[in-house]
Structure 1
Amino acid sequence: MTSSSPTTVISIITLIFYLTPTVHTLGGSAATISITYGSNTTICGIVAGQPSQPIQCWTNGHLFNIYSNISFQSIAGGRNILCGIRSTGSVLMCWNPNHYPNPTPKRLYYNQTVTLSQLVIGDTQICAINNNTKSNVDCWRDRETFSIQNGRFRSISSGLGFTCGVTLDNAEGIICFGVNSEVVSYIQGQFSNFRMLNIVVGGDHACGVNVYGYLICRGNNDYGKIDVPDHLQFEFSGLALGLNHTCALRINQSVVCWGSVGNVSDYFESIVAGLDFTCGLTTNNLSVMCWGEGWVRSESKLFGYEVPLRAVLPGPCVRSGCKCGTYIQSDSLCSGNGLICKPCDLSTNILAPPSPGSGSYEPRSLPSRSLRRGLLAFAIVGAVGAFAGVCTIIYCLWTGVCCGNKRIHNSVQPTINGAATHNASQLSNSSPVSRSSTIRRQASRAFRRQRSGTSSKHADREEEFTFDVLALATDNFSQENKIGAGSFGVVYKGKLLDGREVAIKRGETSQKAKKFQEKESAFDSELAFLSRLHHKHLVRLVGYCEEREEKLLVYEYMKNGALYDHLHDKKNVEKNSSVLNSWKMRIKIALDAARGIEYLHTYAVPPIIHRDIKSSNILLDANWVARVSDFGLSLMDSECEWAKILDTRVGPPDVNEAEAVELMAYTAIHCVNLEGKERPTMTDIVANLERAVSLCDHDSHGSISSGQISIISE
């Protein structure tokens, strides 16, 4: 191939990614296969079934061996360079594979005490992790020098002029270093809110699995290479990143790719990636197969092609210490000189967030016989007491002793179709709304409550989300997903891993922006309110997050946004510019909002006064149903006075709408009476708006005077 051919670099646990402007190599999760680029493209592997574990390479149709009598544990490739760690971990050797069949070796490292375990190669550096207890990363390169970050790393990955790693000293944070300072700061910033298990870096994008088992990709998104498909926790065990594609190895050993490279149906032990192709070690016969547009061969382009290497080891041969089992026939693969350990799942050391109601299991020793007898006696006594308590509660509920024969309405309301009754009492505009029907309203509250609209079913118990999950859902709270802002913080659109679209309200975290006491109070108030409110015309709380001083609330997503945005949209200038430019639709939205507020005032226990009803706090779902939002979060804004609001877009009301508009207008007049006792109740308002909607649907059989409005009569 030419010098612009794509190639790959390798690591043991993490994925190595490398890229240059003229010749390209990228990374993968393999440790026993590698690809070098430059003058030629060379694919190498550590041979299986030999007394020693030597390296065999293939380039330009030729096979050649490197040190047939020396064993290696891992290899990695770069630009005109191939490196390998000896099986003891004490020696690092490198070659130029273009000098085949007898490339000259160069020893970069020798230390029998501080051994190496992970090897990665990038553009300007070769790095490896050692077993030092303090700073455990060593880096070399014969052309350039760069700063080596102090500290201890779980895993590392090298890319174009920089290296990134998951630290052990900074709560699984990501630290990057190298000569490419722009990419260093960008990639490190993109992962600043995540705790990671591994990281794979490249020229302009990076991927890794976080501590909760979810794959996260950040950076440039050309060809959709960071658009991670839906997946389960800890579903992926390996990754390979190309210039414009990403491939992931599942725990069932199948591979899924996205971006510019398609999928392949075989099963693999490990994978690596070039610029625009991917190679993998097949599970079937431990051969190396490559696929993708960049794998240019006349007989195999775009299809899988088996490289003519001998069977390759799926992992290094070790003497002992396999924590997660061994490969089948590993003894024969190592020719009796060791075993091949199965890689441990990422979930074995880091636990995923527990599901609601689940608890972690911890083995415990059996109690002594005397202790068991004592526990048995306590269990019997406790069972008798519990039975007596249950019987008492049942008796109280049956006789009404405990509840005082009082019924508290729940929030699930039956559906009553049809418009409100037209029978209504009248009252003068100059006098306050009559309160004489209060006693009768108490007696018939259940009936009017049915007319208030159908509540949604009780939602499942509110979920407690981790910050990482919500950051993943919002693309790390990107500006593209920002849909609103308020005194409490910013609202983002997000998509959870199960496909649900949600709105995530994130409180301000900067010291300058937040008042901690107010933020605490607002968050607790909203959470306390919404956790027990379930109504068709209230925005439903899906869950929340309290973590690392972060406070977030997760709501169901309202597709059509806030009423304010529609009313004040500068593009909404004609009657047909918006579905809201009709009196019927506006009255319906007013009715929806009133039903939600009525529920808060009348049926919530204890009653809730919203204090901040405005068009920006009335949201519209996909069916244009209005829902009230923001309980306890918004601070009181300064009061504004308007002489009048004239919206010519709606136009004059139709014949059927005229009386409805008049009824709504005079209802609104009574709502702003100076004295609270002179204002109508939400029940009265709902009744009038129900009548107004009915008038829009049917011809009016009467009229009302400008001095009167209707209230519900019992």
Structure 2
Amino acid sequence: MTKLPFSSFSSVTLFVSTLTLLSFILSSPSLTHALGSGSTLAIISATSTVCGLVSSQPTQSITCYRRTPMEGIIAVQPNVSFSSISGGSTFFCGLRSGGYALLCWDTRNSPFDPQRVYINDTVFLQNLSVGDDQVCAVVNDTLSVYKTGTVRCWRGDGDMSNQSPSDGDKYKSISSGFGFSCGILMESNRIKCWGNVTIAREIEHGFGDMEMLSLEVGGLHACGVNSSGLLVCRGNGSLGQLNVPSNNVLEYSQLALGDSHSCAIRKNNGSVVCWGGDGEYNVNEIQGVFFESIVSGSNFTCGLVSLNFSIVCWGPGWPNGSELPLGEVLPGPCVQSSCSECGLYPLSETLCSGSGNICEPCEFNVSMPLPPAPPPTIVPKSSPSKELTTGLLVFAVVGSVGGFAGICTIIYCLWTGVCFGKKKVHNSVQPTITRDGSNGGMTSNNSGLISRSSTIRRQSSRAMRRQRSGTSSKHADRAEEFSLAELAAVTNNFSVENKIGAGSFGVVYRGKLRDGREVAIKRGETGQKMKKFQEKESAFDSELAFLSRLHHKHLVRLVGYCEDGDERLLVYDYMKNGALYDHLHDKNNIEKIMPKIMVNELGKILDPRVGPPEPNEAEAVELVGYTAMHCVNLEGKDRPTMTDIVANLERALSLCDGSHGSISSGTISIISD
């Protein structure tokens, strides 16, 4: 038995604690398991237990829901922060934040008693992975680069000699299954497996020399995305767990594998697809639900719902697809990092309660193979007269086509005024749309909406290109230009006390200009890589170009901007009554407002501080309210399409502005009840 480096406990305590952990791993049943790699969510199949890292708390502790033998919520001790957890057959393990300690718990007892397996202040662990009877993690040694990337494993029978891979191998990531583990090698991106079962060698040989971007291990099979972006599965496929239903490039973002089934999250919309398991893993009960992450046990899978960070489970080993009473679970670990490489996760500061950041996962870089070169075409020799005739024919055809194309180009330039610079540039990108007949029915209305939508996109794109083409495109008509020193002075050098919000572009500060105007100053993130700087520059230019030309009494006004080196700042009027978000959220607005909308009593719920609306404004507000009421229908089929929503908002705006002629006067575009 290898002695683990405990810094504050005696060797006797270490020996007893380790033996206790190994004994309960060894005695675990062999038919039910939770599999794969560490996450903020873990499944312990034998006791039907699901655990997660608590969200929106200063301490990212563990809480569990156990269905058998006694149902209930169990708060896991110690109440400290963890970065990842992973489940086995009857136990699960967790890595402390920072990776300096590894603890495990037996879920057959209540409460769960912690057993410390590893602790070290200089040799940290990461990428935790728990299989049926082994616990593995990747080493991150702060004192030796030679050990960083190696793997340490602990087995239930106390034999560590054959269960950890060679110290000469270094891994990017690892995942564990039934008695074996596999990982992606750092240098070659190839798969290497270890353990005492034949399936490990079969899986390793199945992947061969293929370079992999990700890997997840199930019971007796493994799946991963290769360097071309395709999902590849190897191993035992007796129940269809290797038969991926569709396989486009980078179609899937995350995998979860069980005993005989596989599941994946579709990258484009967050929906889940499962295959294998002899057809028992039907995802109909979670149709329309989108997920941030998923994990699998032996015979069921659980996912973290994107909408509210709740947990939903499905499969033959779980009774239904209802939410678990676990509360909100973190979508990723809270780390002490600026996340400059791939960006911050939305709401990161709130989810971590100020104790760190959640980083967005980095996108895969796939290598697209070049198409094979076409075979050389062998042209038979022809007589000189035929070659001359053919050459003249080709010259005539090409010349005719070229001449016709040139004439068309000249006509087009003269018509649009591009060639002579006489095309008029308007300040508005709102298209002029002919009034449709009111009796056209739903079909004509929908086609009109599609036409309007595409017209808006085309004209907006042209307007943006026109603004960017000139030498003074960034310097808008009414926007003031401020110096960085001036804005730093009015925000107390961008102090935390002046911070009022944050977003994907950067942080927003409150300030007061020398002339007494209160402003909100949005400062782009600094210290980013070139790619992030280009994204920030693009967002800055787009917002400045549009907002400087967009003026409306209901929209916050852009006051000015600042460009100084890599610094990009935008200055807005300060909204002393709060943002629209403050008035829409944290209240039971739907339950309060919908009955009033249904009985045409919108006037009773309007903000009295604004004053009574004009007749045309009242009609516009009623249209917006009616649209919003349908947008919150529970069933997706009962909600209006985005085309209908845009059409109704266009019509509402036209009612406020009194320009009825530019918008169709057909019926309201809402799906019928």
TM-score calculated relative to the size of structure 2: 0.47
Larger Rg: 1
